[in-house]
Every structure is written in C-alpha cells, then in structure tokens.
Structure 1
Amino acid sequence: MSPVDGVETMENQEAKFGFTAFAEKWNGRLAMLGFVIGVATELLTGQGILSQIGLL
C-alpha cells in the first residue's frame, strides 16, 4: 500500500532542518492546538493566561 501521490507522510520524510514545508505545517498545527487549549483554559477558569501564571 503506497501513499497517495503528492501527499507527504512522516515515513517518507528525510531528516531536514530549517524552513521546510513539512516543518511549517507541523508548526502551524501545533500553534493552532495551543491557541485552542489556551482559549478553553480561559473559558473554564474565568482567568486570563497571565493571571493563571501569576503575572497579573
């Protein structure tokens, strides 16, 4: 079973460094996940992120 043409999977990625499309996709996905977790935490606790860590 081979991956669909044009679709990159983690198995066929070489070790690359720098601003590659693969790294930027994962960076964006993790940033979106962090943003959603931050908003959900604010909604559940009623405090902003800065208040939660004691800066306000």
Structure 2
Amino acid sequence: MNSNTDKNLDDQLKEQANTDSEIKIPSTTATTNDIPEFGWSGYAERINGRFAMIGLVSVLLIEALSKISFLEWAGLITK
C-alpha cells in the first residue's frame, strides 16, 4: 500500500468516528443466536467442542493434583 491509500483510509476512519455516535458490535462473537437442534449443526458442534474442552481440562487437573495418570486414577490400569 502506498501512503496516499493509508491517508485516505485514516481520513475515512476519522470521519466515521466523528459521525457515528453508536458503538458498533462486531459481527462475530463468542455466543450465538442459533436455535438448538440435533444432528450436524453449528450449534451442536459448538456445544460438543465446549464439553470436550471441559473434559480435557478436568483430566489434566486430576493428573496434576493426584500425581498419577488418569488411567490409574480411574482404575483402568494398575502398576
């Protein structure tokens, strides 16, 4: 980009800031307005991913606090 384009962009942003008194919310957010539904939907995948993250953090905390592996703690393997 050249300096003229940068100046024009800066001028446009300044004019927009002066004319807009409302706060603009970005189009992407962490929450969703999707309707809960079953099957392969964006909502279901988002919820599934969040539960997977909670499960992984839980396993890591169990291992860190008990000083043994999760599989030993759960009784699935013995030493």
Please, which runs of 5 or more residues in structure 2 have no aligned partner?
A: 1-24
CA RMSD of aligned residues (A): 2.1
- RCO higher in 1 or 2 (8 Å CA, sep ≥ 6)? 1
The percent of aligned pairs where both chains have the same amino acid is: 32
The one of 38, 56, 66 aligned to 1:35: 56
The one of 7, 13, 17 aligned to 2:38: 17
Q: How many residues align?
A: 50
TM-score by length of 2: 0.53
The one of 15, 22, 32 aligned to 1:8: 32
Please, which runs of 5 or more residues in structure 1 have no aligned partner?
A: none
TM-score by length of 1: 0.71
CA 1:22–1:54 in 2, change beyond 3 Å: closer, same or farther? same
